[in-house]
Amino acid sequence: MKRATLHDILSNEDLLHSFSTYLRDVERSIENLEFHMWYSTHVQRGTHITPYEGTRVLRTFFSRTSAWELNLDADEQNAVVHAAQQHIGARVLLPLSIFTHSHRVVVTLLECSSLPAYRAHVKRRKRERSGSGSGSAREGLRRSLSSVSSLSSLSSIVNSLSPRKRS
């Protein structure tokens, strides 16, 4: 992967799947991508969301008890929650602009942190897969034998420390 941008990744189903998997399994920050996709989808649909949708977004991305809570500073999080709850309480549509700054923060995190780490991860994995021919296979075998040897030594030490049964 050359220098794929966030836009490139979102436009390519295979890259998006790979990036999502990386965020979920390696970086453990899939919530940033999910929030970005939610926000982008809703901006395309219009400028407001229902109080029900607003409540769902607060529970998913802004609740301290949610596994998908966004990594925002407390002031940002509190401002969004307060503004959204005012609209929800009044049972009026929420302007998506309530979430605009949070979205910018999330995109910055994705572009400046997650995406470079993902690129490095992909590059490292490609290098590991291709290796350097038979030297790579030899190195893997050497590491395996070394760990077996270490386990054997450890096993010998543990056995020597264990009380022996008397006949």
In the predicted model, is pLDDT for residue 162 greater than 80? Answer: no
Q: pTM value?
A: 0.74
CATH 1.10.167.10 fits 6-145, yes or no: yes
- 52 in Cβ contact with 45 (< 8 Å): no
In the predicted model, is pLDDT for residue 4 greater than 70? Answer: yes
Taking phi over 0 as left and psi of -120 to 50 as alpha, with beta for the rest, 94 belongs to beta
Kind plus residue range of the DSSP H or E element containing 136: helix 134-161
Domain ranges of the chain: 6-145
CA distance 103 to 99: 6
Max CA distance (Å), the chain: 84
User: Pick the residue with more confidence: 155 or 18?
Assistant: 18
